[in-house]
Structure 1
């Protein structure tokens, strides 16, 4: 019976942790919007269909080039014709602001 309060506390923490893990990053919508623009910029005007996932997945943080700060990295997938592209958007960790510090786009195919 003494274990029951500890088990209940662990269950509450697990539920709270999973709810927090499912909460989208505050800049997720901004990253998806930038993904559409980056894919269009990367290919220019084309008659091929461009699509972008409507979710941005946090994939970690990276160290800032100067100072001791860190940046959040959000990943969005995009598609043109048969190509699949991984886009990373790098945001400064400023509460209440989405400051885009960098972006990259890589095709996921194997060129070899």
Structure 2
């Protein structure tokens, strides 16, 4: 019985340890991903944006001492898959988008 309790406790706590941090601009970045794909490829009813947002390592601000947060999102149009990075100024309460990147994932 104790072994089962320890196993359950381990499984529950390991799930918390592997959870990625949630960024306060995640919802904003998902909306921006849709806009970015629409800008590059036009309106298409087959456009899908993943709801999973990955918080990447911050990058240095080339014009100052601060850093920028980088959020990664994947999107799809028909058979194409696109990786997008949204670069935000580090602020506590607002989402200030300062850059974005898009790259098609290909097998070339």
TM-score category, normalised to shorter length: 0.7 to 0.9
Alignment of 1:63-78 (within 5 A): 63-78=60-75
Which of 50, 55, 79 aligns to 2:47? It is 50
Q: Is the CA contact 1:49–1:81 (under 8 Å) kept in the aligned structure 2?
A: yes
Alignment match, 1:105: 102
> Deviation at 1:54?
1.3
**Which stretches of structure 1, 4 residues or longer, exceed 3 Å deviation after superposition?**
none
- TM-score, structure 1 length as denominator? 0.76
Q: Is the CA contact 1:70–1:92 (under 8 Å) kept in the aligned structure 2?
A: yes
Coordinate RMSD, CA, aligned: 2.2
The whole-number CA distance in structure 2 between the counterparts of 1:33 and 1:83 is: 19
Which of 25, 34, 43 aligns to 2:32? It is 34
- TM-score, structure 2 length as denominator? 0.79
> Deviation at 1:97?
1.1
Q: Give 1 or 2 for the bigger CA radius of gyration.
A: 1
Q: Gaps (5+ residues) in structure 2?
A: 1-12
> Deviation at 1:23?
4.0
Alignment of 1:82-101 (within 5 A): 82-101=79-98
